[in-house]
């Protein structure tokens, strides 16, 4: 893509003046980005892929240091002879008043019996202006490969417009010496933020007041959460964030703290009070208020349930009042008609079945009776009023009891009492 805007022209020109990597930068990439390998045979002989020396080591740990060259090795027990790794390394610098993030691909090939080879290819540069505008210079790459990002090294590092796609590429392997434009420093940037795309981070600091404020007040974890855009609306935490800043309170676990504030809000606590906003032991307070919040929710649910039952009560009374008072027994088992929705609720809770939750009190054709012995619920019976027949009779958790047949028989023998009430 040819540069069109003034900014793009400036970037393309400035790009030509970027220096080659220094030997120190290359050394860092080869030792920090690439994990060097010690290949272990089943006999415990480790070959350092870096210096080629062999030493004995049977530790169960995954890593060791080569006694010959001092390389930190990852031990791989394998018969493999060839190894390769490909990973990104980032270098952050400033050029011509613009912030630059340079991304290199480090390719590593090692083989038992020869020296390892490292190749570094610059694959992408992201350029950011002090006003937050940015553009991307990159080589072409084959999209959608599963193995690792395969770049076409022979293509030119030039202006590309797939800004979104290139934005997906970033690494936390960033060379520790960074150079920042003065505007970024003025906006609170001191260092890079691990776990966050550096381009997004820089742009946010330049154009987003909230990000800038969080950086300046040193709330690094909140800033990280804010930039990760986890769907939280930071607006509602902002007053508390101000209180925290005023009290020199640093949030160490941002998502836990935000959860905690949400619970305080639900419980009607003062989110401007340092007493609540700045707890000494966040986890303890979080857990304590979670218990309170859950209790509040349970109470609310119960109140809603009560209101709902009350609302349904009148309709049930109207529909089934003619059957109220109907009861019969065989000397042991007593069977009576449920006379209120509240009674349905109690029956369902006690019997762990769905006579209440499935709204049997609303079913025109159903008459629900409870079979008890000495006041203890045994089974719940449904009679079809149009058929004058038992549809079902269920014990605790819908299981039949040893009284099942006897209960059905007792209902059937007294079906005429139900019939009389229908006729009345
Ligand atoms: Zn070595």
Q: Tell me the CA–centroid distance for residue 22 and ligand 1, in Å.
A: 24
Ligand 1 geometric centre to CA of 72 (Å): 8
Residue 242 located in a structural domain? no
Q: How many angstroms does the Cα of residue 266 sit away from the middle of ligand 1?
A: 60
Predicted confidence at residue 145, as pLDDT, reads 57
Asked, for residue 39, whether it belongs to a domain, the answer is: yes
Burial 232-252 (b: 16+ CB within 10 A, else e): beeeebeebbebbbeeebebe
* Residue 401 in domain: yes
Which pLDDT score, from 0 to 100, does residue 150 have? 81
Asked, for residue 134, whether it belongs to a domain, the answer is yes
Measured in Å, residue 21 CA sits from the centre of ligand 1 at 25
Q: How many domains is the chain partitioned into structurally?
A: 2
Of 138, 162, 186, the one marking the end of a domain is 162
Q: What is the DSSP letter of 323?
A: G
For residue 310 the two structure tokens come to 């009350």
Which of 162, 182, 203 terminates a domain? The answer is: 162
CA 84 to ligand 1 centroid distance, Å: 17
CA of 52 relative to ligand 1 center, distance in Å: 6
CB 407 within 8 A of CB 371: yes
Distance from Cα 73 to the centre of ligand 1, integer Å:
8
Residue 324 confidence (pLDDT)? 95
Strand partners, 92: 101
Is residue 239 situated within a structural domain? no
| pTM > 0.85: yes or no | no
- Distance (angstroms) between ligand 1 centre and the Cα of 105 equals 24
In a domain, 146, yes or no: yes
CB 100 within 8 A of CB 127: yes
Query: What is the reported pLDDT for 167?
Result: 77
The predicted pLDDT at position 60 comes to 82
* Domain final residue pick, 136, 162, 188: 162
Whether residue 298 contacts residue 334, with contact meaning beta carbons closer than 8 Å, is answered with no
Query: Could you list the residue range(s) of the whole structural domain that residue 23 is in?
Result: 6-162
What CATH number did the domain enclosing 330 receive? 3.40.630.30
Do residues 410 and 328 touch, judged by C-beta distance below 8 A? Answer: yes
In a domain, 94, yes or no: yes
Low-confidence stretches of the chain (pLDDT < 70) are 143-148, 163-164
pLDDT at 312: 94
What is the CA(61)–ligand 1 centre distance, in A?
17
| Confidence (pLDDT) at 142 | 79
Contacts of 365 (CB under 8 A, 6+ apart): 384, 385, 386
Q: Output the CA 270–ligand 1 centroid distance in Å.
A: 61
Question: Does any domain span residue 236?
Answer: no
- Give the model confidence (pLDDT) of 101-142 as tens digits: 999 999 999 999 899 999 999 999 999 999 999 999 999 887
Helices (H) and strands (E) in the chain, counts: 14, 17
**Within 10 A of 401 (CB to CB), how many other CB atoms are there?**
16
| Residues facing residue 327 across a β-bridge | 336
CA of 39 to the centre of ligand 1 (A): 11
């Amino acid at each position: 893509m040819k540069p069109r805007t003034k900014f793009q022209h400036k970037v393309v020109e400035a790009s030509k003046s970027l220096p080659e990597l220094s030997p120190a930068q290359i050394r860092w990439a080869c030792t920090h980005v690439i994990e060097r390998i010690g290949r272990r045979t089943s006999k415990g002989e480790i070959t350092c892929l870096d210096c080629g020396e062999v030493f004995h080591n049977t530790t169960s740990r995954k890593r060791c240091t080569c006694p010959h060259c001092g390389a930190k090795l990852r031990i791989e027990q394998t018969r493999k002879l060839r190894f390769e790794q490909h990973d990104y390394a980032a270098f952050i610098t400033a050029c011509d008043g613009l912030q630059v993030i340079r991304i290199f691909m480090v390719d590593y090939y090692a083989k038992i019996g020869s020296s390892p080879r490292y190749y570094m290819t610059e694959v992408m540069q992201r350029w950011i202006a002090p006003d937050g505008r940015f553009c991307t210079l990159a080589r072409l790459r084959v999209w959608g490969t599963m193995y690792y990002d395969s770049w076409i090294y022979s293509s030119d590092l030039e202006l590309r417009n797939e800004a979104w796609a290139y934005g997906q590429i970033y690494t936390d392997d960033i060379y520790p010496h960074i150079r920042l434009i003065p505007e970024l420093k003025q906006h609170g940037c001191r260092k890079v933020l691990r776990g966050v795309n550096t381009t997004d981070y820089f742009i946010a600091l330049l154009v987003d007041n909230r990000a800038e404020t969080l950086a300046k007040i040193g709330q690094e974890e909140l800033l990280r959460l804010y930039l990760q855009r986890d769907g939280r609306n930071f607006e509602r935490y902002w007053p508390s964030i101000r209180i925290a800043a005023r009290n020199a309170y640093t949030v160490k676990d941002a998502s836990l703290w935000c959860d905690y504030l949400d619970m305080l809000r639900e419980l009607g606590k003062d989110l401007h009070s340092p007493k609540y906003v700045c707890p000494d032991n966040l986890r303890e307070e979080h857990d304590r208020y979670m218990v309170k919040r859950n209790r509040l929710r349970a109470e609310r649910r119960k109140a809603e349930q009560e209101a709902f039952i009350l609302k349904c009560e009148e309709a049930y009374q109207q529909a089934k009042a003619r059957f109220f008072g109907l009861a019969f027994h065989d000397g042991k088992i007593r069977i009576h008609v449920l006379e209120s929705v509240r009674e349905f609720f109690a029956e369902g809770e006690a019997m762990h079945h769905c006579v209440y939750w499935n709204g049997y009190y609303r079913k025109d054709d159903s008459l629900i009776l409870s079979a008890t012995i000495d006041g203890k619920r045994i089974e719940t019976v449904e009679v079809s009023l149009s058929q004058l027949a038992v549809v079902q009779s269920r014990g605790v958790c819908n299981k039949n009891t040893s009284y099942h047949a006897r209960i059905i028989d007792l209902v059937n023998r007294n079906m005429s009492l139900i019939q009389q009430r229908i006729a009345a």
